[in-house]
Structure 1
């Protein structure tokens, strides 16, 4: 499927883009987030959570692996960075099969556990403020979401 690339010029624009993305998501959706340290993965996730009605402060779950938030639907924020070189399954499938939205930072570290149907997102830091955000859908649902986001 086609990739969709959108550039943002500020942190606020990155959050707004994620907020808009959240409007097209449905319970059970899984999103992967890749990008170097400081690329804006957690910033993007904050916007996504806001779009899903999460009222709590969202921060990186680096030391807890998974943080659960309640908004309009359950929102699961995972950070797989600490799972590099680990083959421990901490029950990923249980999260993916629930009726919430799951976002996974550093998802390539748990590639073997990821569902086939997901939206892959890669954030590239262009400079201090600008980001290139690449959306790669894996099914018709995410293709539609990306087309609407790009429009």
Structure 2
């Protein structure tokens, strides 16, 4: 799979893109979503959940850090989705000499998420919002999805907003993604 870029002009388009990506994942995959506040990460995650057959609402797990949801892969095999929001992780003081990745791993361990995130099971898919700061530490094989709001000047504000088109760049990292359809 090669990197590619898509435009999502509406929330509906963003959900459809999330659902399309979900149709290509397998158990053990890690997907990292990044982008500024209001870019559409949770909207993408909602579509992703729909694409995995999750029937529960997919909402931002900002305050719970992680939510576990059940669905199914396109072939009907049960799928376990772990939806993590890492925005609040790493916001406490670091110990002297401790690097960012180690601190994040410590926090994940305290939440009981470290083992599942480091080695997802054969039916588990991990979707991490704000995960770019822990990408290399957690998942050397991953799908990075960067969502950006339009070009400066497209909107009359620099503040976070759900309005306007989004540019979505999807980049596979590692051999795990070789041979998969890219679109």
Q: Deviations over 1:20-56 (max 9, x none)?
A: 1111111111000000000000000000000000000
Contact 2:70–2:81 at 8 Å: present in 1 too?
yes
Query: Partners of 2:179 and 2:42 in 1: how far apart?
Result: 24
Pick the structure with greater CA Rg: 2
TM-score (norm 2): 0.74
Contact 1:33–1:123 at 8 Å: present in 2 too?
yes
Match of 1:13 in 2: 13
Give SS of 2:56's match.
coil
Query: Partners of 1:146 and 1:34 in 2: how far apart?
Result: 22
Q: Relative to total residues, which structure has the larger helix share, 1 or 2?
A: 1
Give how far 1:18 is off: 1.0
Match of 1:40 in 2: 40
1:114-129 equivalence runs, <5 A: 114-126=138-150, 128-129=163-164
Contact 1:15–1:46 at 8 Å: present in 2 too?
yes
1:103-122 equivalence runs, <5 A: 103-111=127-135, 113-122=137-146
Give how far 1:144 is off: 4.0
TM-score (norm 1): 0.88
Q: 1:8 to 1:143 in 2, by over 3 A?
A: farther
Give how far 1:114 is off: 1.5
Query: Partners of 1:21 and 1:6 in 2: how far apart?
Result: 12
Q: Which 4+ residue blocks in structure 1 deviate beyond 4 angstroms? A: none
Contact 1:123–1:133 at 8 Å: present in 2 too?
yes
Deviates more, 1:49-58 or 1:81-90: 81-90
Find out whether 1:89 has 2:89 as its counterpart. no
Unmatched runs of 5 consecutive residues or more in structure 2:
73-78, 93-102, 155-162
Deviates more, 1:15-24 or 1:82-91: 82-91
Aligned length: 148
Find out whether 1:22 has 2:22 as its counterpart. yes
